[in-house]
Amino acid sequence: MKEKKNLTFKETNEKNNKFSNKGITLIALIITIIVLLILAGVSIATLAGENGLLRKSK
């Protein structure tokens, strides 16, 4: 019979995951920046567009 190795949680976790969760991934950071840029673009277009809020207030 094969003997099961008694590995700690950390050892099994490291064997199952090549990459550990140490923080924000680059992909998550890029997606967040893109979403913020889209929101900023929509806001600026709403404020300064042809029929924007700034034009209406004048």
pLDDT tens profile 1-57: 566 666 566 555 555 666 666 778 999 999 999 999 999 999 888 888 877 777 777
Q: Please report whether residue 13 resides in a domain.
A: no
Is the model's pTM score more than 0.95?
no
Tokens of 11: 């050892």
Q: Domain limits at 50?
A: 23-57
Q: Please report whether residue 38 resides in a domain.
A: yes
Backbone angles phi, psi at 20, to 5 degrees: -90, 160
* Chain position carrying tokens 């209406």: 56
Q: Please report whether residue 14 resides in a domain.
A: no
Q: Please report whether residue 8 resides in a domain.
A: no
**The total number of structural domains that make up the chain:** 1
Q: Please report whether residue 1 resides in a domain.
A: no
9 with 15: CB under 8 angstroms?
no
| pLDDT for the residue numbered 36 | 98
